[in-house]
Chain A
Amino acid sequence: MNRLIFLLFVLISGLLSAYRFDLPIFKSKISIPKKWPKPTYDLSEKAISEEGFQLGRSLFYDPMLSRDSTISCATCHLQYTGFTHVDHNVSHGIDGRKGTRNAPALINLAWKKFFHWDGGVNHIEAQGINPLTHPAEMDNTLAEVIRRLTLNDDYRKQFQRVYGADEITTAKLMNALSQFTRSLISSNSKYDQVLRKEKGVTFTEQEQSGLVIFRQHCVSCHQEPLFTTHQFKSNGLQSDPIFKDLGRFAITGKVVDSFLFMIPTLRNIEFTFPYMHDGRFRKLKEVISYYSDKIDPANSHLSRELNGPIHLSDKQQKDLLAFLYTLTDKQFLYNPRFSFPKK
Chain B
Amino acid sequence: MTVSKFVCFCLVLICFNAFNQSVLRFVPCLGSQAIELGKEYTIAEGRISFQSIKFYVSDFRTLTENGKLIKHWPTTLVNLEDSSSQSIGEIDSAAVRIDFLLGTDSLSNVSGILEGALDPINGMYWAWNSGYINVKSEGLYRDSTGKEFPFEFHLGGYLAPNATVRFLSFDVNPQRGIPQLVILMDDWLTYAFEKGIYSLMIPGKISAELATKVQASIQLTYRHE
| Contact (Cβ within 8 A) A253 B203 | yes
| Contact (Cβ within 8 A) A120 B114 | no
Residues on B with beta carbons closer than 8 Å to the beta carbon of A123? 110-113, 130
Among B115, B128, B162, which residue has the most Cβ atoms of chain A within 10 A?
Answer: B128
Q: How near does chain B come to A7, taking the closest CB pair, in angstroms?
A: 56
How many A-B pairs with Cβ below 8 Å?
A: 61
Q: How far is the CA of A126 from the CA of B204 in the complex (A)?
A: 21
Knowing A121-B130, A171-B115, A253-B205, say if A129 contacts B120 (CB, 8 Å): yes
Q: How far is the CA of A121 from the CA of B113 in the complex (A)?
A: 12
Residues on A with beta carbons closer than 8 Å to the beta carbon of B120? 129, 142, 170
Knowing A169-B119, A253-B204, say if A120 contacts B128 (CB, 8 Å): yes
| Contact (Cβ within 8 A) B129 A174 | no
Of the A-B pairs whose beta carbons lie under 8 Å apart in the complex, a sample of 16, sorted by A's number, is A116-B128, A121-B129, A122-B109, A122-B131, A123-B112, A126-B112, A129-B113, A129-B120, A143-B121, A170-B121, A171-B113, A175-B113, A250-B129, A252-B159, A253-B162, A253-B203
> Is chain A's binding surface mostly helix, strand, loop or mixed?
helix
Q: How far is the CA of A76 from the CA of B65 in the complex (A)?
A: 60
Q: How far is the CA of A175 from the CA of B111 in the complex (A)?
A: 12
Whether a CB of chain A sits under 8 angstroms from the CB of B1 is no
Q: Using an 8 Å CB-CB cutoff, how does the interface string of B174-209 with A read, 1 for contact, 0 for none?
A: 000000000000000000000000000001110000
Knowing A142-B121, A170-B119, A253-B205, say if A130 contacts B112 (CB, 8 Å): no
**Chain A: interface residue total (CB-CB under 8 A):** 24
Residues on A with beta carbons closer than 8 Å to the beta carbon of B204? 253
Chain B, range 94-129, C-beta contacts under 8 Å to A:
109-115, 119-121, 125, 127-129
Beyond contacts A169-B121, A171-B113, A253-B203: 17 other A-B pairs, Cβ-Cβ < 8 A, are: A116-B128, A121-B128, A122-B130, A123-B112, A123-B130, A124-B112, A125-B112, A126-B127, A129-B113, A134-B128, A142-B121, A143-B121, A169-B115, A170-B115, A171-B112, A174-B112, A252-B159
Q: Using an 8 Å CB-CB cutoff, how does the interface string of A155-198 with B read, 1 for contact, 0 for none?
A: 00000000000000111001100000000000000000000000
In the complex, the 3 A-B pairs of residues with the closest C-beta atoms, listed nearest first: A125-B112, A129-B127, A123-B112
Whether a CB of chain B sits under 8 angstroms from the CB of A146 is yes
| Contact (Cβ within 8 A) A130 B127 | yes
Knowing A170-B120, A252-B159, A253-B162, say if A125 contacts B127 (CB, 8 Å): no
